[in-house]
Amino acid sequence: MVIPVEDAADARLADYVRLRDVDLRRSVESERGLFVAEGEKVIRRAIGAGHPVRSVLTTAKWLDALADVVDGTTVYLVSDEVMEGITGFPVHRGALAAMERTELPSVGALLADAERILVLEDLVDHGNVGAIFRCAAALGVGAIVLSPRCADPLYRRSVKVSMGAVFAIPYARMTDWHGGLAEVRAAGFRLLALTPDQSAVPLDEAPLSGRVALMLGSEGDGLSSHWLHEADQPVCIPMSPRAMDLGVDSLNVVAAAAVACHGLLRDRPGG
């Protein structure tokens, strides 16, 4: 059902308002159990991952491309100007969809079949979380565990940056930061803490037999002292001595995640 809408303040579009207001969106999306997918490819991937569509917001230009997706769905059709008035920014990918969230698995259930996982502690930048999901999915990581304070992978920017990879890799959120790693270890995982400290064992020399969980810390401070203490072994990505002399002593968390995920492929069961 296609419904033309000419007013950005129309109450029927409440799922889409002020998408750049992080605090508002966190409240709205939590209260309504939804998230917003942006662009045709991401919408299709969200649907393929089993998320029901609440509605679609699009312009006439994109309606035909989404015809099979929106069949039987409420579609709000607006002009480019109204679209920007609702969202607060130009929607270059032409379409948004309000999607229903599904229940996350418990950490224990998530770990049942995984061999290589990432554990993220307190990453608060949605773009970084999305980019790390994309790296992990592309390089064969089996699952991701989030600390309680990590950013939401289904926030619009996370989904967008990941190009839908947040729907390609299973994840769960800890309920207990202080004792959460014990559950991962109890599932048979060796905990490796990625640190910029060059005295740590290089990742490509660390033993990777069996089940391995690689821990990544927050954008500014890295892993907390508590999580570093809980790890079985600290590991590092070796930096160029020349770069170190110039004060470049580490990679940003996304680049480090990409390198580290590739390193986790070594000795991986089945490949």
Q: Map the chain to HEC letters.
A: CEEECCCCCCHHHHHHCCCCCHHHHHHHHHHHCEEEEECHHHHHHHHHCCCCEEEEEECHHHHCCCHHHHCCCCEEECCHHHHHHHHCCCCCCCEEEEEECCCCCCHHHHCCCCCEEEEECCCCCHHHHHHHHHHHHHCCCCEEEECCCCCCCCCHHHHHHHCCHHHCCCEEECCCCCCHHHHHHHCCEEEEEECCCCCCEEHHHCCCCCEEEEEECECCCECCHHHHHHCCEEEECCCCHHHHHCCCCCCCHHHHHHHHHHHCCCCCCCC
- How do residues 56-75 score in pLDDT, each as one tens digit? 999 998 888 888 887 889 99
In this prediction, residue 104 carries a pLDDT of 94
Give the range among 39-43, 170-174, 232-236 with minimum mean pLDDT.
39-43
Summarize the confidence of residues 211-238 as an average pLDDT. Answer: 95
173, pLDDT greater than 70: yes
Distances (CA, A) of 18 to 24, 54, 87, 100, 255: 8, 18, 5, 18, 30
Percent of the chain with pLDDT over 70: 97
Strand 75-77 with 95-100, pairing: unpaired
In this prediction, residue 100 carries a pLDDT of 96
Summarize the confidence of residues 226-238 as an average pLDDT. Answer: 96
Phi, psi for 235 (deg, rounded to 5): -130, 155
- How do residues 123-158 score in pLDDT, each as one tens digit? 999 999 999 999 999 999 999 999 999 999 999 889
In this prediction, residue 65 carries a pLDDT of 87
Strand 2-4 with 75-77, pairing: parallel
What's the CA angle centered on 202, arms 197 and 206, to 5 degrees?
125
- How do residues 177-186 score in pLDDT, each as one tens digit? 999 999 999 9
User: Rg of the chain's alpha carbons, rounded to an integer?
Assistant: 21
Whether residue 74 contacts residue 55, with contact meaning beta carbons closer than 8 Å, is answered with yes
Q: Six-digit token pair at 123?
A: 């990453």
Q: How confident is the model at residue 84 (pLDDT cuts 50, 70, 90)?
A: confident
Whether residue 123 contacts residue 199, with contact meaning beta carbons closer than 8 Å, is answered with no
Q: How confident is the model at residue 268 (pLDDT cuts 50, 70, 90)?
A: low
In this prediction, residue 68 carries a pLDDT of 87
Q: Six-digit token pair at 150?
A: 């990590």
Among the listed residues 221, 227, 219, the one whose alpha carbon sits nearest the alpha carbon of residue 257: 219
- How do residues 34-51 score in pLDDT, each as one tens digit? 999 998 889 999 999 999
Distant-in-sequence, close-in-space partners of 86: CB < 8 Å, separation ≥ 6? 8, 13, 16, 17, 57, 78
In this prediction, residue 271 carries a pLDDT of 46
In this prediction, residue 94 carries a pLDDT of 74
Whether residue 226 contacts residue 164, with contact meaning beta carbons closer than 8 Å, is answered with no
CB atoms inside a 10 Å sphere around CB 241: 9
- How do residues 184-212 score in pLDDT, each as one tens digit? 999 999 999 999 999 999 999 999 989 99
